Amino acid sequence: MLPEDNILFKGIDSDDCRRMISCFNADIRRYKAGSSIAGYDDYSDKIGIVLSGRAVMVRYDINGVRTIIETLEEQSVFGAFFTFNVSRRSNMEIISETDCEIMFVRRSELTKRCENACQCHSKVVENLLALMSEKTITLSERIEVLSQRSISDKLISCLEIIADKTPDGKTPQIPFSTTALSDYLCVNRSALQREISKLKKEGVLTISKRKFRLLKNKD
């Protein structure tokens, strides 16, 4: 995917986009699967844009317990602008799940006053505000999932959100392995597997690899 195809540059033509990427001193880097892309302190003044591949935002608490905060697909944006503040009792890290290409831009470059008051710079700021709004919705969905009392309710809430975002005609797909899904839901992996097996036996859920269908509401 070309940098100008990213949602941050939506509505800006190709030539202007490339000029702005140069003006912003954008840094495009490639990472192998399993690599650490950035720690929280590394991007406190940077915005990262996923140009290709998939990554995850991971939080480690003081005991080393791993929680997946968010999956980052193509068109995703990350940075201190878009996530929770990290306390001294935990740290945050972006890790590549597949080979990734990431473009980094300093936040100060995006938000500084444009000397030419150009329309395309104003459009980038407008897109940035829209992305912040979308992140707020994503974080609200995350809270909705984690606020569920039982493992099965957390799982179903998560799957319903995924299904709602899946385009018509396509089968929804879980963007995690079972281990990663348990980290995302903040539950024990074995307990999650038991709940999945139970829901399948009850006829609530079918799963083939990562593709799934919710057949009826759980009583």
Contact residues for 24 (Cβ-Cβ < 8 A; gap 6+): 105, 106, 109, 110
CA distance linking residue 212 with residue 216, whole number of Å:
12
Element (H, E) at 196: helix 189-201
CA atoms lying within 13 Å on the CB side of residue 97? 18
**66, 183 Cβ separation under 8 angstroms:** yes
pLDDT in tens, 143-167: 899 999 999 999 999 999 999 989 9
Mean pLDDT is lowest, of 28-32, 134-138, 214-218, for: 214-218
Q: Please provide the average confidence, as pLDDT, over all residues in the chain.
A: 83
- The residue-averaged pLDDT of 83-96 equals 67
Compute how many other C-beta atoms are within 10 angstroms of the C-beta atom of residue 60. Answer: 14
pLDDT in tens, 35-60: 998 776 665 678 888 889 999 988 88
pLDDT at 173: 93
In three-state secondary structure terms, 74 is coil
Q: In what order do the strands lie in the sheet with 27-31?
A: 27-31, 100-106, 46-52, 77-79
Distance from the first to the final alpha carbon of the chain? 44
pLDDT at 203: 92
Domain annotation for the chain: domains and CATH numbers: 3-141 (2.60.120.10), 148-214 (1.10.10.10)
Strand partners for 206:
213
In three-state secondary structure terms, 104 is strand
